[in-house]
């Protein structure tokens, strides 16, 4: 029987995963209800995330709001996976003419979603966390404590 262990990822590993992926989910509360929306994104080495959206979508509500952003990966056959979560503040950068906003906008390629996506938003992290679920064989003396996947 295979068991698993949950390992917390350090910030450097979280940033590496963030930089090497393009699809994530933005979570925002609108009118007291949580919304989670998939987005194509780009990130920089500080963990700042940029994405685009249409003119009147739920994602436009992230401006000046506390939001969460999440990416993950899974290997169903190995029963393993990882996730990285950013908690931060959203900010519309569509018309912002400063170096950081211009840099983030140029990092992002085309959206996978159809239709115009004229509004640009950044999420500036206040906290970046991650964890990896890895299988262990019976009798392995794991150096990391086992934590339930919750």
Q: Is residue 91 part of a domain?
A: yes
The answer to whether the CB of 53 falls within 8 A of the CB of 59 is yes
Q: Is residue 142 part of a domain?
A: no
Q: Is residue 69 part of a domain?
A: yes
Rounded-to-integer distance, Cα 81 and Cα 7, Å: 11
Q: What is the 3-state secondary structure (H, E, C) of 66-77?
A: EEEEEEEEEECC
Domain count, the chain: 1
Q: Is residue 147 part of a domain?
A: no
Q: Please provide residue 26's backbone torsions phi and psi, each rounded to the nearest 5 degrees.
A: -105, 135
Question: Which CATH number fits the domain that encloses residue 14?
Answer: 2.30.110.10
Residues spanned by the domain of 132: 3-136
103's enclosing H/E stretch is: helix 99-107
Q: Is residue 148 part of a domain?
A: no
* pTM of the entire predicted model: 0.85
Q: Is residue 145 part of a domain?
A: no
The per-residue pLDDT for range 101-112, each reduced to its tens digit, is 999 999 988 888
The answer to whether the CB of 89 falls within 8 A of the CB of 28 is no
Q: What pLDDT, on a 0 to 100 scale, did the predictor assign at position 138?
A: 59
The per-residue pLDDT for range 5-49, each reduced to its tens digit, is 999 999 999 999 999 999 999 999 999 999 999 999 999 999 999
Q: Is residue 78 part of a domain?
A: yes
Q: What pLDDT, on a 0 to 100 scale, did the predictor assign at position 150?
A: 42
């Amino acid at each position: 029987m295979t068991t698993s262990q949950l390992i917390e990822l350090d910030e450097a590993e979280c940033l590496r995963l963030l930089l090497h992926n393009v699809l994530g989910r933005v979570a925002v509360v609108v009118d007291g209800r949580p919304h989670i929306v998939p987005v194509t994104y780009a990130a920089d080495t500080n963990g700042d995330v940029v994405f685009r959206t249409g003119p009147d979508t739920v994602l436009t509500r992230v401006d000046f709001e506390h939001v969460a952003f999440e990416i993950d990966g899974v290997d169903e056959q190995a029963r393993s996976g990882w996730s990285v979560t950013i908690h931060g503040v959203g900010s519309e950068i569509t018309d912002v003419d400063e170096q950081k906003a211009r840099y983030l906008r140029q990092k992002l390629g085309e959206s996978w979603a159809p239709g115009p996506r004229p509004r640009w938003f950044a999420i500036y992290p206040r906290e970046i966390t991650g964890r990896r679920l890895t299988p262990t064989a019976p009798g392995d003396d794991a150096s990391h404590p086992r934590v339930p996947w919750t």
